[in-house]
Structure 1
Amino acid sequence: MSSARDPLSGLSGARLGGTFRLLMQVRVLASAVALLLIPEERRTPAALIMLACVGVLSALALFGWREIVPRLLEYPILLALDSLVAYAALEVGGVLGPFFLVTVITSTLAGLLYQWTGTLLICPLQVLLYYTAAADSEWVTTFQTAVGMPLFYFVGGFVGTALRRLFDEFTIADEARHRAEVAAAAAEERTRLAREMHDSLAKTLRGISMAATALPTWVTNSPERACEEARRIVAAAEIAAREVRELIAELRTDIVRLSLADVLTQTVSTWADDTGTTAEVDADPEIDLPVRDRHEVVSILREALENVKRHADASMVRVRLAREGESVTLTVADDGRGFTMPEDVDVLAQAGHYGVIGMQERALHAGAVLSVRSQPGEGTTVTVTIPASTGAEVPTSYLEMA
């Protein structure tokens, strides 16, 4: 093909291909019936072979429709050749035989593939061939045979044209709906980013400001406390810087248009390239979540990978997204050094480790369960379980530790 674009791609192409297959199925069945009902006086070896060949060619077009349809769209002359094949069958089978209905399918294909242009070119050709075949056979000239039957070619062309017009209208409506969904998702994304800056970044910066304000007092009254507060300020500043980078990365990423599986794969691939750590992703492409929930899941993944980079010293990370019953589960497992998970996550905050707390807050916002399982020397596994159905009960406990 000369065009790089696949004419069978998208919803319109799928409908076009599906209708072509249906017409070929009808043509194969009609050819078989015509072969059985051919009049006794015309049941010659040549007639049987010709009708059988038409059926076989239709069957080949049915099974090779992915290659046939693009060729027909690019070279309309091929459908004109199909009309000649139908004419040969009319010559041996007779214009009044049951095979006449099989030839009408060619007109329907002309309307389906080329719309009115194809109909106005192919249908007159078929009418001419019909009269040519009729002149070579014995038939009674009546209004039905002379006018009514040839009009069926135009009726078939009209049906094909009407179907194509419906497909095009459906495609336009689908594209408009998709644009509306993207616009709505983009608006929700802007709202989410504003909320992220208010709920996360602004609070972090406010905490840094308050701690820095009190730092001179601690330097005078309690140097040890001052050192501890200084470490917390440094840790909080690192978190703020990372949050800024994440927000900028999300602004640059076309996350709304990508599937959840593609977003996860892209995120892990970028992280693996930056860190040099081997990473595997097993994400079900059929799984998706509402925009708000999918952003929380992606943010949890990024935080988990950041923790692996900073603390785990891992050589392998495995990320899995799967549906389990009525829930969607994201699992991030590494083979790093692991750690002892405290019963109270506030202990981690006091030590300047806010990663788990951040993931816990994001899971809470998505109505999910966050599980962090780790032991020294045995790696760490972070699991996020999100109810997949709107009627799923929201859990009362959002963090499991082991």
Structure 2
Amino acid sequence: DVLEAFWGDFRGGFGGGTEREILDLGGLHFAHVRHGGLFFGASTEGDASPFTIIEFLNRLVTLLRDFCGPLSEKSLGMNLALVGELLEELDFGHIQTTTPEVLRSLVQSEPEVPKPFSLLDLGSVGLFGAETQQSRVAPGAAAARPLPPARGDQPPRPELFVDVLERLSVVIAANGSPLKVEVQGEIRLKSFLPPGTELRIGLTEEFCVGKSELRGYGTPVRVDECSFHSSVSLAEFGSRRVLSLRPEPGEMTLMQYQVQDEIPAPLPFRLFPTARAQPPNRIHLYLKLRCDLPPKSQAINVCLQLPVPKGVSSLSQELSSPDQSAELDLGSRSIRWEIPKIQGGSQLSALFKLDLPSLGRAWRLELGPAHASFELPGLSCSGLRVRFLRLLPGTAPRWVRYRSCSQHYVLRL
């Protein structure tokens, strides 16, 4: 069975410590991408370019989000007919189009969006008026709703959503000094505007590319590399840091950028561990996690995973607040410490008591390093901000949201 062979080889890739996006099984080439815990795959017998297949799968994911709303197993199950209509544009393996505006005139099925939608996913949201910025919360399902079909007498409500998303990769030494700091960011646009509307986006005036370029009088917002969507006009970018485009309805990645070595804000977390042996067969591990975010900011969905010595059989714990939880994962041989929310400028602590059959001499070498995962709603680690969003002609609600999350955050003990 081809499916079983593919899944078996895929799991073998995980067992080797790497996730392979391209697999060759008996002359068949399989490619896949993963989004939100879902796998989207394609296969071919010919020598098709793997980059083309991966790019098509990523565009397919964007199309499904545009037409079906937030992607999940439930939402895809509710919209099987609509998904089938979109896949019909693959005519005997030949890609016809991935343009949302063209496909809207071809599909007949109405999208169904599952409920409820969590407001925690939105983070901090701001509404931009014509000349001023006002703080306001966007409707929960607004940005996740699908594009309306291109029919009917009543036009859809025009709205614009801009997301500044950043992924943080950090390695911190035992003495607290950063060994690696990297930010991968992107500005993502989801438009419900009428076709032909001109959009002007003003970025931070101090935004500069490379270490040699300095702009403005404030703290520079420096990136090492950046790239833009092909539809973006950069005529005013050099002088005023303004991007211009006429977005089509749907979702697109407006800009991608990378920051290395240093960021203007302090790193979100610092870990202070203390480990002592308690003969004959117990280890006391005291952890203090400090959040160095600004006091008005917070981190959510924080999880700290810490490898422990071999042979640990049981765990007892004392946590500094009742909303925390911890467990010993024998499969990965690690402690999993979960914190729903931590405020900037605060710290939390935990005492773990580990029981072993016996204490070896090298038990300290088997502790750590700790891996942290978290989300930072309303924050951009690079300091990049959107100054304004302007539409010509007319006006419409415009929403800007900032969100940073960990991609690889390692704290050495």
The interval holding the TM-score normalised by the smaller chain is under 0.3
Rg: which structure is higher?
Answer: 1
> TM-score, normalized by length of structure 1?
0.18
Name the one with the larger strand percent: 2
> TM-score, normalized by length of structure 2?
0.18
Name the one with the larger helix percent: 1
